[in-house]
Each structure stands twice: as structure tokens, then as C-alpha cells.
């Protein structure tokens, strides 16, 4: 999802969304959102694509 889609889905501001994404990237030592998605999939917090 894009930042604007996340903001709308969770009813939070764009600034809050950006902050949360940045914190996730830092905490998981991920360089991009793709790595976050892989980490979520491996942790079985999201269903597999498809």
C-alpha cells in the first residue's frame, strides 16, 4: 500500500504513516518496503500473495 492508502485505511495522518514506516524500516534494519513485506510474510503476519 502507498502511504496515502495506509493513512486512509487506518484513519491516521500522512505524517504519522511516514513515521511508522520509517520506524519499522529502522527497527527491522530494512532498506526498503519490499524487505518489510518479506519480514511480515516470514513472520506469518500477512497471508501469502495471490
Please report which confidence band the pLDDT of residue 17 belongs to, taking 50, 70 and 90 as the band edges: very high
C-alpha cell at 6: 495506509
Please report which confidence band the pLDDT of residue 25 belongs to, taking 50, 70 and 90 as the band edges: very high
pLDDT at position 44 is: 84
| Helix-helix angle 14-27:33-42, to 10 degrees | 70
Q: Quote the pTM value.
A: 0.79
pLDDT at position 45 is: 83
- Is pLDDT above 90 for 32? yes
CA distance 27 to 12: 21
Amino acid at each position: 500500500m502507498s502511504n496515502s492508502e495506509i493513512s486512509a485505511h487506518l484513519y491516521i495522518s500522512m505524517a504519522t504513516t511516514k513515521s511508522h514506516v520509517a520506524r519499522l524500516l529502522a527497527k527491522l534494519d530494512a532498506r526498503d518496503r519490499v524487505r518489510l513485506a518479506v519480514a511480515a510474510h516470514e513472520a506469518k503476519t500477512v497471508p501469502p500473495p495471490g
